[in-house]
């Protein structure tokens, strides 16, 4: 009888525990041992989020590869004489992209596909299928490019929103880290919003400031450029674009709302509008810096691109451009902001501060050669 009573008590306790846990949502074990099971469930939940995002989105992420014409390069041998080596001629993974339409539209960064003429681009999907890129459309002012491949039935990403992002929000990045490790998944948070960075290179003939980018501590390396930055439900909220040189865990992404605007323009016309090209590398002088150095606010010219409208129009390194068409330049209204509103062929009236004197220049913008 005693054994039977004990068995009945055990069954009653077990049944009650099940009912409390499944029906009432009360875990008796959590009440008795509150630490371990709660932490374990949280860890499993976080892992599940990352795993699901990676599984759902990875088929829509591609590696971008380039093959440049082979050429022989001479180099000085330290022991005397010259030696030579061959550059190019073999495919090399250079960046990341993601599918935005089932019929073969891929988004990446403009700087990923900025190689010289003769370069051939491919994209490689998660299942190792390779596709030749048949068309490249570039939007250099936003560092965005759209690649076209001949394919159907592809799985596009879901585009989210970037207007409602919060600092501290969880994010996932997927990309070809270091141009070698395809479909690398990293996690982090949004570290800052509204950052400003410089993109492009004077050696490409184009330098532009990207404003309002997302800062994240998710590990982003060379090769991740052009890949998606994702929220916890797998929506794209940004395009990974750059890392801070000499720093750790500081990466940047172009907000997805900027991409949506570019895609709308592309889908309407099949291309991006022509951009006015000036041809300078510059740094903005803040009001405090201007007062400290007894110079006006404006864009301090670091370098001038050879053969550019800036050089033809008489702009020199160390000039300070203070006004364009009567519009004052400042940290809140940069040179890039003003030039981005202009078109090729527009004639600009510039006011320059040079050697403690104000001078005026007139120049004509050309079209940026993509």
Does 183 participate in catalysis according to the annotation? no
CA contacts within 13 A on the Cβ side of 27: 9
Question: Tokens representing 282?
Answer: 């510059």
Does 58 participate in catalysis according to the annotation? no
Selecting among 111, 137, 183, 191, the annotated active-site residue is 111
CA contacts within 13 A on the Cβ side of 49: 17
Burial 41-55 (b: 16+ CB within 10 A, else e): eeeeeeeebbeebbe
**Cα 272 from Cα 138, distance rounded (Å):** 7
Selecting among 60, 137, 141, 143, the annotated active-site residue is 143
Query: Please, which residues have CB within 8 angstroms of residue 229's CB and are 6 or more apart in sequence?
Result: 171, 172, 173, 214, 216, 218, 236, 237, 238, 239, 240, 253
Q: What is the DSSP string of 71-113?
A: EEEEEE-TTSSEEEEEE-SS-EEEEEEEEEETTTEEEE-GGGG
Question: Tokens representing 36?
Answer: 């371990």
**Cα 193 from Cα 24, distance rounded (Å):** 42
Largest CA distance in the chain: 109
Selecting among 141, 225, 308, 366, the annotated active-site residue is 225
Write out the catalytic residue numbers.
Answer: 111, 143, 225
């Amino acid at each position: 009888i005693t054994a039977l009573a004990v068995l009945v008590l055990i069954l009653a306790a077990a049944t009650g525990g099940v009912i409390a846990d499944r029906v009432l949502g009360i875990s008796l074990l959590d009440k008795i041992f509150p630490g371990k099971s709660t932490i374990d469930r949280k860890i499993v939940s976080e892992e599940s989020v990352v795993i699901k995002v990676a599984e759902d989105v990875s088929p829509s992420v591609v590696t971008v590869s380039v093959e440049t014409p082979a050429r022989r390069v001479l180099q000085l041998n330290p022991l005397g004489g010259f030696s030579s080596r061959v550059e190019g001629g073999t495919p090399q993974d250079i960046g990341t992209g993601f599918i935005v339409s089932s019929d073969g539209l891929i988004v990446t960064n403009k700087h990923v596909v900025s190689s010289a003429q003769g370069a051939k681009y491919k994209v490689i999907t998660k299942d190792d299928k390779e596709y030749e890129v048949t068309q490249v459309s570039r939007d250099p002012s936003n560092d965005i490019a759209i690649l076209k491949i001949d394919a159907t039935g592809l799985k596009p990403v879901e585009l989210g929103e970037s207007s409602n992002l919060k600092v501290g929000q969880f994010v996932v990045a997927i990309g070809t880290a270091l141009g070698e490790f395809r479909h690398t998944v990293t996690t982090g948070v949004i570290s800052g919003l509204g950052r400003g960075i410089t993109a492009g290179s004077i050696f490409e003939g184009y330098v532009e400031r990207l404003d309002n980018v997302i800062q994240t501590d998710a590990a982003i390396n060379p090769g991740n450029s052009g890949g998606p930055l994702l929220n916890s439900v797998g929506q794209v909220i940004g395009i990974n674009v750059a890392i801070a040189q000499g720093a750790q865990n500081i990466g940047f992404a172009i907000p997805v709302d900027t991409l949506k605007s570019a895609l709308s323009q592309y889908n309407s016309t099949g291309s991006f509008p022509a951009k006015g090209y000036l041809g300078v590398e510059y740094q903005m002088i803040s009001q405090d810096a201007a007062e400290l150095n007894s110079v006006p606010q404006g864009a301090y010219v670091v370098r001038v691109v050879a053969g550019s409208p800036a050089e033809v129009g008489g702009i020199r390194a160390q000039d300070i451009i203070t006004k364009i068409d009567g519009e004052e330049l400042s940290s809140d209204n940069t040179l890039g902001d003003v030039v981005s509103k202009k078109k090729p062929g527009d004639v600009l009236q510039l006011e320059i501060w040079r050697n403690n004197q104000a001078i005026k220049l007139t120049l004509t913008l050309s079209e940026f050669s993509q």
